[in-house]
Structure 1
Amino acid sequence: MHLARTDDNADEIDAVTALVEAHGGARVGVEGVLADLPHRVRRTFAPTPRLLGRKVTTALTWEAADRRDPHWWPQGISTSVRTGVDRDALVVSWYSKAGAGSRVSLVDLESRGYQHVLLAEPTGKGGRPGLKPLAIHAGGIVWHGRYLHVAATGRGFFTCLFDDLMRVPDGAGIETFGHRYVLPVRFAYEATADKGFEKMRYSFLSLDRTTEPPVLVAGEYGSARQTHRLARFPTDAETGLLATAEDGLARPVVDDRGAVRMQGAVVAAGSYYVTASQGSRKPGTMYAGRPGAFRAHRWSTPPGPEDIVWWPSSDLLWSVTEHPRKRWIYAMKRTSLPS
């Protein structure tokens, strides 16, 4: 199994930027969005600790419209740690069940403001420049330096450069599905495999910061009858992108001993921490330890846990839930989940 990087969309993104600027828009980068956060998350306590999860120490929830929206579903989560952004921020991915593709929400933990940003692919090679929604599940994300990697299941994952993030005004002729900001895709890492081998499903992503340079961790959601593999891709110390062999392919170290129904996995202090959903009504399970020897911590999370990320300075594990009216961004103390 391996990943093959596609060509860079720099020219197409430049053409879209010129179109946007002609109508009063601009590239603003992640800092521009963090200066414009019209929505607010709020601290919350679920109706009972049993519903919120036994290991949750902090919980935030979205504004009412986002909390109950049947069309947009939260999935991935990552942090601003070591990205050059001078704020404690989270980024959360969503996918649309109504044909609007996928998006991310930037959340400032100090002000508790947030803003949605549509993810899009550049179009118009040889014609009018434009953008189309990035139609993927967006089950996991990694914010690494200026790049954002977004999981795309059987397709691999897509990579955006936050410097390309643009404000799109009305009248630019670009469909944004109500979003003021758009982040275009720079390139993709396409999932490939040698003959006779099953391609990896990129259900979620995280970054193992216990090594230098960091390692990108990908994993598979799978039932008891499916594979549930974990893959580790070394990154390049200079670029922060995936390290590749002479043939241009990125090859992982793969372990097939992941947990059933994994929704996210991250490495911290020598252990894996894995979320697993038990449906929309039951609290989720956390697994801690090494593949093949996980310790289960049941009833640890709210129902519907998804991707997971580690914040080293606070030693907290952050995750997000997906089901309407049961949507939280929540944190757990890593030390409360022994392996």
Structure 2
Amino acid sequence: MPGTPAEPTFGVHLVRTEENIAEIDALAGVLGGRVGLDGLLESLKWQAKESLLGRLLGRAVSRAITWDAYDRRDVRWWPQGISTSADASDTEDIGGRRVLVATWYSKVIGGVSYGSRVTFLDLDTLKYRHVLLVTPRLDKAGKLVLRPLQIHAGGVVWAGQYLHVAATSRGFVTFRLDDIMRVPGDDDHPDEFGIDDERVASYGHRYVLPLRFSYRAETDEGHTRLRYSFVSLDRRSEPPTMIAGEYGRGSDSTRLARYHLDPSTWLLETGEDGFSRPIELDDGGVVQMQGGVVAGGRYHLTVSKGPHTPGSVYVGQPGSFRRRMFATPMGPEDIAYWPSTDELWSISEHPRRRWVFAMRRSWFD
């Protein structure tokens, strides 16, 4: 249309890869089919509990939950990302359940990283279960090969049937929850991984979720690639948007980006050139931000001060943020918003100081 200004490009974009349909079908054949999210939620195993200490350690905290004794202390697996059924559904529940999903990445111990995983937690029963993220591949001979997904998983958006998980300089990776599969008997093989004579081992995880496709981070000539350190969902914008941000220290960039999502699919909108480009890209984030979400028309950014000092939340707009100190327990990571309760949910990472916690948004007004 004459006179219509061109859409901004900002010099960065995402390219969606092909779906791993044949590979996922092959894995389903080995494991006896898919069980999906419904099957997983019917077999939640581990027991979390309410934590008074977590509430006391953050001034804004209204509720705190901690994992079972093993997961609280585990030095291999570190929690990072958070999203909820309030992101996933207009009704804020999944089959009547209020559910939270968290991402974890594995430290390298003994020369081995177990990759990354997601955890589904029922907020009423406090039961939960871990699901290992995997990448299935078919080699040249058509043989199925399985690998753990090696990403930092610093943030996650649960949108409809999809999980979008931050993968830093790679962009982000996407999973369909219908693809969750059960691994028979793998609780007995915590240190094994792979496929051997059609027996699947998955580092002791009874459930796996295979990678469906990726959104690969690319740049236009002369621009710097955006790092997808964390992601979140703004359901209240029209259309809904995904927010992505960069963790940075010193002179590193700390940009915040927004992408339109198609509400009929919950995938990124794509232009005629096949690229998904941000509708906004701002340089005005804050140093060492671990997560960011928009609620009440303002950004809320979490910043950790290490394993011994409670964390901060920065509130405002890019380039103009106000710091609220001691708002969270130590080590806050990603952040998500629950509209009906007007609460912000976050997660902390350090062993023996691990909580999933809700904060009153009104505390930041």
Q: Which of the five TM-score ranges fits, normalised by the shorter chain?
A: over 0.9
Matched, 1:286 2:335: no
- Gaps of at least 5 residues in structure 1 are none
What residue is the counterpart of 2:342 in the other structure?
315
Length-normalised TM-score, structure 2 = 0.89
SS in 1 for 2:79: strand
* Partner Cα separation in structure 2 for residue 47 and residue 134 of structure 1: 31
Instruction: Trace 1:224-235 onto structure 2 (pairs within 5 A).
Output: 224-235=250-261
Q: Does 2:134 match 1:120?
A: yes
5 Å-filtered alignment, 1:1-339, equals 1-21=12-32, 26-46=33-53, 49=56, 52-81=57-86, 82-83=88-89, 85-86=94-95, 87-98=97-108, 99-126=113-140, 127-170=142-185, 172-252=198-278, 253-338=280-365
1:96 is matched by which residue type in structure 2? S
Note the aligned Cα RMSD (angstroms).
1.3
1:12 aligned counterpart, secondary structure: helix
Q: CA deviation at 1:195?
A: 1.6
Amino acid in structure 2 at the alignment position of 1:264: G
Shift of the 64–333 alpha-carbon distance from structure 1 to 2, 3 Å rule, reads same
Distance 1:107 1:287, change over 3 A: same
Q: TM-score, normalised by structure 1?
A: 0.95
Q: Which amino acid aligns with 2:145?
A: G
Q: How many residues align?
A: 332
Q: Secondary structure at the match of 1:175?
A: strand
- The alpha-carbon deviation at position 293 of structure 1 amounts to 1.2
Query: 2-side partners of 1:327 and 1:95: how far apart?
Result: 14
Q: In 2, distance between residues paired with 1:47 and 1:121?
A: 35
Question: Cα 1:91–1:208, aligned 2, differ >3 Å: closer, same or farther?
Answer: same
1:27 Cα shift?
Answer: 0.8
The one-character-per-residue Cα deviations of 1:114-139 (angstroms, maximum 9, x if unpaired) are: 00000011112442223211100000
